[in-house]
Amino acid sequence: MSEEIKESQEQQIIKTQQIYQQMNPETQAVIVRDIKDAAKMYDAERIMQGIKTYDDLSEQFKVDPTKDINQNKISLSNDMFEDYKLVLKDNTPDFKYLAGTLIIMYLEALEGRPAKVLEFPTIIPAEGRSIIHNFADELGLFSYSHGAKKNRQIVVFPKTMFLETQETETVKMEKEKSKLRVKFKDYKFSHEPDPNATNTRDKMIREIYFEQKGIHDPIVKPSYAGPFQNKLPEFKKMIQKIQESELKKQAKSDEISRKLKEAQKSEESIEHSPKSTTETRKSKPQVIDYVGNMDSRDQEEIKVDPRDRKQLQKLVQDGDSDDEAKRKEEEDEYFMSLTEEEKQAYREKQERIKKEKEQEFKKLEEYHKQLKQTSLKTFKDRPDAIKEIRCVHTDSDLVAFEWDEPADNNSRILRYHIYVSDFTISKDHVYQQDFSQEIQRKNQTFKKLDTIPNVENELFYTMTDLKPNTCYFVQVTAENELGEGYKQDQPELIMTAPFTVKGKKSNLYVWGSNHNSELGISDEQAKVNAGDYVKHSMKKAIKNKQFESGNVRQISCGNVSTLFLYAEQDSTQIMIIQSGMTIIQTEKHINESKINYTEEELDQVQYIPSIPFEIFFNIPVVKVCCGDLFQLLLTAEGQVFSWGQNLYGQLGLKDNTISATLQPQLVKFSNPLDRIIDLVSGFNSCIALNQENQVYVWGKRMGYYPTFDMNYHAIRNSTQIQTTEINQQDPRLLKGNLVYYKIKKVISGPSNNALITESGQVLLQGLNDHGQLGVGEELGSILYFFPEFMKYDYFSSRKLFVLDVQFGLCHTLILCHDPTLNKNRVFGCGSTKIGQLTLKKDELLFDFFELTDLLIDTKTQLPIEVVSISCGSFHSLFTSKDGRVFGCGKNSKGQLAFRNTASTGKNQFGLVELKILLAQNEKLKQVSSGSLYSMAITEMV
């Protein structure tokens, strides 16, 4: 390098340093705007020699790094890449040189300084971003693209920085890949996806293609996992070679341009000379010969000026066309000079040559076909991953599941391996001192549970000795002579049923309104209890004879109907039983096979009271939910099905034209990999909890509302928002403040909903027309409805762990555990008008009021320790630790299991014990309340 060039470069470096010294040292995000200054600042030769040409970058690294990656980045401007709006074959080396050089400068400037990221501009197309991603993989850097399609930017930084961002982006990419896996699960690729794909989606599809084949993509190199410092010298050499190669090409281009100009001058001189056409043609093959020699000497692309390239192509095409015309002319002259016999012989010869070529082509085609078939037959590999595991039976202590045989890859499957995770999800919400579930989830490992031989038509397995009401994660792999096969990307979630009464006798007790047959009792039983069965209401708790021969596993009481999970005494098959108001076709349309009905077609269906009947469903179910005029099922595989009325979107079917459906329909969630582990329904709304503790909502007033703060003026100004009914037609994933909590339990009432976190905190949502939200009198007196789930510090500030929340139509009950006193405490708010909060006064409680000291056993005058609570529309039930049930509130339909007298009236303001006549060896398991009735499950011990 000459002294003049060195001196010029040093002047440019000094100039650039002065520019950056003038920058504000407190600036956190730096934008490099001048491509010329950048090129001079990072002279390639000095970089290759390991000389840092720009040490003053330290000025912009003095700021303390924060977790916000947007505040700690070096952003390159669009001006630097103005010449690369399109990255094509011609300019790819130049782009590689520029991008690689900038990455090298960035990494060298990072040494010993706080964390910064390098952000490339939006002007770079997908082909350019793909090159930068490849560079990052070679160096062991982390890279990701962000922004809308037309404004995508790529960010690059070492993997030791911004770990939270890396984790977030990795999870996001994995979710996108999982969606594509589901989409292409059964897709048969007709050909190999484009190996030169530049966008992320196409690359993922190619990756999925090779995953399905069970082989590694031959063109994909594994990303370097070590420190970038080890790869940096090698990367510098690669960039230097690109530069040297481009210089050689430029030299060749200059030479070709010179030759072209000479040829052009020669062509012009020939055209203006009086020479013959034959002589003119002789000059063209010389140009063709020259180009051919150049191609044979060097296979690399020759870079020339576009005008020179066009001239060269014109000359070559002219030469080719002239030669072809001359050859054709000579052949015609030769053919015309032949005798008739010679002409016939010539024709036969040409025909023979043509047939020989066709036969040769067919042989070659057949050879490739046989070669392909042979390759497929001789290819052997471990078995593919099992695509799907299906639960075929569930009970409280066991689950049975099956699977389809995966592709054996030309080697017979010998056996299957069953794995189960050490991490489980219990759906029973009890007070715990140690909340380590999230730690267990992150560190979960799968242990081999069993190995079974491959027996034809027996691809199923039964897991035993399990806990009831619990979620388990399982995997199954196949094994052949080459070894154990590939595993599923996502383990399958399977749930056990609620508590068991297997081998024990259980009873179902019912009382309250039976106007729509919601109690499920027969006419004969109503007649037997005629003294207490008044106006379709059972005024005492009686044993339901309809369920006497088996065991009721779970009940869900709705507004006017009830769902049961039930098993016969000698059977493990769990049935779904429905009683109460039921949707059916009208007599006029009874023979039609129609299932879904629009609002205009609702006159074709009717709701009638019905005695218990079975709903046939071929997937094991672990939970049932009953709303007003609709029902839900939760399967052992974490799927949700719904049927009934859909005027508010409560079925979650997304199709708002469906106003009612007669049969269970699958509810689809935004993430197809989500598995629902808990499900509840209010009168016309639903909440679902997935395996990641995320919450989905849909139905009446569950749509997206404009937010407003919980202060006086904001509430006053949002009256229109509060009174607007925004419904949600399909499951909506709640985000916002919920990302800070791990939700353990979901609860839904007539018009209110609650979430309980893993640490015992509570969040409430819904109507507040009677003070049900307990936000205080100042705000509660003007707040009608709050759409978001708001956290309450009332209980956490008192170090109380919330166990359960129950809602009536106008009141709320909350059950808490006090670890300091080691006892449970009960709080309430809302209307006290009919005694539902045990208070003998008619007012609205806008603040939570403790009821613990008011829950007194009238016989012993001692306080009762409440272990569970339940609410009807206008009554409340409390179950004590010793298995007794107490209640208060409205009793007009026998909700408190006794007949009213003149002295008691229809409303019970004080606490009263319900007369449920249990045997000495009979124990209470579950108490549930519908709108105007209640039920209890007991078991014999």
DSSP conformational letter for 71 = G
Rg (CA), the chain: 39
Widest distance between CA atoms in the chain: 135
Q: Are 927 and 879 in contact (CB under 8 A)?
A: yes
CA–CA gap between residue 78 and residue 193 (Å, rounded)? 32
> How much is the pLDDT for 226?
78
DSSP-assigned beta bridge partners for residue 359 = none
Q: Classify residue 772 as exposed, middle or buried by CB count within 10 Å of its CB (0-12, 13-18, 19+).
A: buried
For 563-628, the three-class secondary structure string (H helix, E strand, C coil) is EEEEEECCCCCCEEEEEEEEEEECHHHCCCCCCEECHHHHHHEEEEEEEEEEECCCCCEEEEEECC
Buried b (16+ CB within 10 A) or exposed e, 435-462: eebeeebeeeebeeeeeeebeeeebebe
- Residue 46 corresponds to which amino acid? R
Q: Classify residue 301 as exposed, middle or buried by CB count within 10 Å of its CB (0-12, 13-18, 19+).
A: exposed
**Cβ atoms within 10 Å, residue 345:** 12
Tell me the average confidence (pLDDT) per consecutive run of 10 residues in the chain, 941 residues long: 48 47 39 43 41 37 49 81 79 87 85 78 87 89 82 87 84 82 71 72 80 76 78 88 77 64 56 41 33 35 44 49 65 76 81 82 72 58 88 89 87 92 76 45 77 85 90 93 87 84 78 95 91 92 91 94 89 89 89 86 92 92 96 95 96 93 95 93 96 94 92 92 94 88 94 95 96 94 94 92 97 96 96 92 93 90 93 96 94 92 81 91 92 94 79
DSSP-assigned beta bridge partners for residue 157 = 142
Q: How many helices and strands (H and E) does the chain possess?
A: 17, 46
DSSP run (H or E) holding 690: strand 685-690
Ordered structural domains, the chain, with CATH: 1-51+68-158 (3.30.1370.50), 387-430+448-496 (2.60.40.10), 502-587+609-616+882-940 (no CATH)
Give me the phi and psi of 101, to 5 degrees please.
-65, -40
> How much is the pLDDT for 915?
93
DSSP run (H or E) holding 923: strand 922-929
The Cβ-side half-sphere exposure at 123, using a 13 Å CA radius, reads: 13
DSSP run (H or E) holding 695: strand 695-699
Q: Are 74 and 127 in contact (CB under 8 A)?
A: no
Helix (H, G, I), strand (E, B) or coil at 450: strand
**Cβ atoms within 10 Å, residue 49:** 11
Contact residues for 279 (Cβ-Cβ < 8 A; gap 6+): 270
Comparing C-alpha atoms, which of 233, 245, 242, 231 is closest to residue 47?
A: 233
> How much is the pLDDT for 283?
35
Distances (CA, A) of 931 to 499, 804, 837: 25, 19, 16
> How much is the pLDDT for 641?
97
Helix (H, G, I), strand (E, B) or coil at 375: helix
CA–CA gap between residue 904 and residue 315 (Å, rounded)? 112
Contact residues for 151 (Cβ-Cβ < 8 A; gap 6+): 122
């012989």: which residue's tokens? 345
> How much is the pLDDT for 261?
62
Q: Where are the alpha helices (DSSP H) in 386-484?
A: 437-442
> How much is the pLDDT for 81?
84
Distances (CA, A) of 830 to 95, 299, 752, 781: 69, 85, 12, 11
> How much is the pLDDT for 266?
57
CA–CA gap between residue 608 and residue 196 (Å, rounded)? 63
CA–CA gap between residue 589 and residue 536 (Å, rounded)? 30
DSSP conformational letter for 331 = H
